[in-house]
Structure 1
Amino acid sequence: MITMKEIARRANVSSATVSRVLNNSGYVSDDVRKRIMKIIEETGYIPSEHAKALRTKQSNVIGVILPKLSTETSSRLVNGISEELAKHGYQILLANTNLDPEKEIENLKLLKSKQVDGIILLATNRGQELVSEIQKLSIPFVATGQVIEGVPSVINNNFQAAKDITSHLIEKGHQKIAFIGVDEADWEVGHRRKEGYLAALKENQLRIVDEWIQKGIFSIESGYTSMKKILESGNERPTAVVCVTDRLAIGAMEYLGEIGLSIPNDIALTGMGASDLSKYVVPRLTTIDLLSETTGAEAAKTLLEIIKEGNTSDKKVIDYRLIIRDSI
């Protein structure tokens, strides 16, 4: 197998000169550089990434921690991250938590041991244990999904997005609006989106009915169960429902269809996330496009700023887009 030492021998230079060419560091004359590169090309020499990392103290690998590998949000976020990092010669190493907060911490430790150059975490909580572990990292770090105190974060404007989609329903004449959310320990999706919904109701002096506010998990089945609870809570029924994810909305849609209620004639329905499914269910779902690929790209740019310049800006907020379809 060809080695750096052999490349140096054939080019009649020192191994240190070959190393400077490979790492683009230090002065090497154009003639010598061309001679070395020609030999590398002819021999097909590939430098050991581990050895390179030891020399440069860089692995050119970024760790990315996700709550679920199978979701569209994660997939789009990773696309945005990987495309941006690839422009700068970085690869990514993925870790999955399966929505387990303890695994977020385990994966932080694991990726640090792998000597990655930085970490991007799509966080589902912002507990003190997680914050403490992040503060111990001593490598560049960016959070998405949650604002974590003292940590550079790239997030969506979840409060305003939920407020806008609720306000749109109100503009369409709806005054009895229910809500299907998730656990408020997930601050951005569970708490901030609920707060946006409540703010729209309060601004328009509409009733807040506790039984119409249900909490599920990130699943279609949970949307189905939550919709059932809302309609079984009393004689009066809402005319519209705001769901914090498309999957919850599709579950609610399934239940409404089973009991013979028409969407949007009997009950209007909205989701959030602009999933591929939202375009193909009948009726097509009104939703919020949270621009996950843009979020991923911005998280990557923020991390690169920290790696290269030590920039530690606290928070970037990504805009969103309301997509109005048939379900309202």
Structure 2
Amino acid sequence: MATIKEIAAMASVSRTTVSRVLNNSGYVSEDVRKRINKVIEETGYIPSQQAKSLRTKKTKVIGVILPTIKTETSGRLVAGIDEVLSEAGYQILLANTNLDRQKEIEFLQLLKVRQVDGIILAATNVNDELVEKIKQLDIPFVAIGQEIQGIFNVLYDDYHAARDMTSLFVRKGHKRISFIGVDESDRAVGFLRKKGFLDEMNNNNLSVEDAWVEKGVFNIQSGYEAMARIIQNSTRIPTAVFAVTDRLAIGAMRYLNEHSYTIPDEMAIAGIGASEMSKYVTPPLTTIDYFNESVGHEAAKLILNRTTNHNKEFKKITSNYRLIERDSV
């Protein structure tokens, strides 16, 4: 394979000019650029990424830390991130924490050692240790889904989405509405969605009995078990259930179907996430679409802004959402 020196000789230019074309830096006339690119194409020259990284002090790699790779949300986020970064000539390096807080910390350090140009983190929760570690990294950083002060953030409007869904139940005539959430250490999904539900219930002068509020984790079985506890522990059976994720809602639906509750006549149900599965359960699930690919686009644009323009001005973006009303409510 040809070297830069040989490329320069064949194109009748200096090695510096060839480097400018390869790195897209410095002025090179259009005629000379075309001549060099033609020689590169004819010889099949591929620049050494390691050598290029040493020259530019950039690896063209962005680390992406996910709480799990098993959900559609993660898949859509990554698709959106990759679409923007690939177009800009970047690659992504994925890290899966499997909802392990300590792994989030470990992956931050690992990605720094790998000398990535930036990190995008879809965090499950935010604590002092995580925030301190991020500040110590001194690497361009974007957080998705959880707000971290002083960091570029792309957020979901969890509070208002939950209020809107609760309002839908109320408009349909429901007064006894139950809730399946997750641990409130997850501020976005656990705290803000629950707060939105409770505030909207209060806004409509509707009470919420303790037995109507349950917690699960991010899987279908957990939704099934939470629904079972609500039914078994309630002196007054609710007429509706709002689950903070589609998976929890689908688990709850399975319990209701197995125990002869007709949906939505005897029990209305809704989730959040607009998963593919939500369209095909019976009846189709009412849900909220957070446009996760677009969220991925925004996160990728922000990280490129930080890495290429060195823009350190704090920025927060809150994404839009859409309530999809189907036959389960």
Taking structure 2 as the reference length, what is the TM-score of the superposition?
Answer: 0.97
Match of 1:319 in 2: 320
More divergent stretch after superposition (228-237 vs 186-195): 228-237
Match of 1:222 in 2: 222
Work out the CA distance in 1 between the residues paired with 2:31 and 2:207. 78
Match of 1:254 in 2: 254
Match of 1:207 in 2: 207
Match of 1:195 in 2: 195
> SS at 1:180's partner residue?
strand
How far off is 1:311 after superposition?
4.2
Work out the CA distance in 2 between the residues paired with 1:11 and 1:289. 54
1:196-250 deviation per Cα after TM superposition (whole angstroms, max 9, x unaligned): 0001110011012111110100000000000000001133100000000000000
Work out the CA distance in 2 between the residues paired with 1:301 and 1:16. 31
How far off is 1:84 after superposition?
1.6
Work out the CA distance in 2 between the residues paired with 1:15 and 1:267. 73
Alignment of 1:94-133 (within 5 A): 94-133=94-133
The one-letter code sitting in structure 2 at the alignment partner of 1:299 is A
Work out the CA distance in 2 between the residues paired with 1:290 and 1:38. 45
> SS at 2:230's partner residue?
helix
The one-letter code sitting in structure 2 at the alignment partner of 1:113 is V
How far off is 1:32 after superposition?
3.3
Gaps of 5+ in 2: none
Match of 1:181 in 2: 181
> SS at 2:233's partner residue?
coil
More divergent stretch after superposition (219-228 vs 28-37): 28-37
Paired residues of 2:150 and 2:314 also in contact (CA < 8 A): no
Runs of 4+ residues deviating >6 angstroms: none
1:157-184 deviation per Cα after TM superposition (whole angstroms, max 9, x unaligned): 0000011000110011000000000011
Work out the CA distance in 2 between the residues paired with 1:52 and 1:164. 51
Match of 1:143 in 2: 143
More divergent stretch after superposition (298-307 vs 275-284): 298-307
The CA RMSD measured in Å over matched residues stands at 1.2
How far off is 1:111 after superposition?
1.2
> SS at 2:169's partner residue?
helix
How far off is 1:261 after superposition?
0.7
1:251-305 deviation per Cα after TM superposition (whole angstroms, max 9, x unaligned): 0001011111111011100010000000000000000001111111111111122
Cα distance change on mapping 1:167 and 1:29 into 2, 3 Å: closer
Work out the CA distance in 2 between the residues paired with 1:286 and 1:30. 56
The one-letter code sitting in structure 2 at the alignment partner of 1:307 is T
Work out the CA distance in 2 between the residues paired with 1:9 and 1:79. 42
The one-letter code sitting in structure 2 at the alignment partner of 1:132 is E
More divergent stretch after superposition (114-123 vs 223-232): 114-123
Match of 1:85 in 2: 85
The one-letter code sitting in structure 2 at the alignment partner of 1:287 is T
Match of 1:67 in 2: 67
The one-letter code sitting in structure 2 at the alignment partner of 1:300 is A
Work out the CA distance in 2 between the residues paired with 1:227 and 1:79. 33
More divergent stretch after superposition (85-94 vs 136-145): 85-94
Work out the CA distance in 2 between the residues paired with 1:140 and 1:234. 49
The one-letter code sitting in structure 2 at the alignment partner of 1:203 is N
How far off is 1:5 after superposition?
2.4
Work out the CA distance in 1 between the residues paired with 2:234 and 2:109. 49
> SS at 1:95's partner residue?
strand
Taking structure 1 as the reference length, what is the TM-score of the superposition?
Answer: 0.97
1:114-162 deviation per Cα after TM superposition (whole angstroms, max 9, x unaligned): 1111110000011111001100111110000100122111010000001
The one-letter code sitting in structure 2 at the alignment partner of 1:277 is M
Work out the CA distance in 1 between the residues paired with 2:3 and 2:102. 43
Alignment of 1:165-176 (within 5 A): 165-176=165-176
Work out the CA distance in 2 between the residues paired with 1:30 and 1:166. 60
Paired residues of 2:105 and 2:130 also in contact (CA < 8 A): yes
More divergent stretch after superposition (294-303 vs 318-327): 294-303
1:15-34 deviation per Cα after TM superposition (whole angstroms, max 9, x unaligned): 22211111122233444333
Match of 1:50 in 2: 50
**Percent pairwise identity:** 58
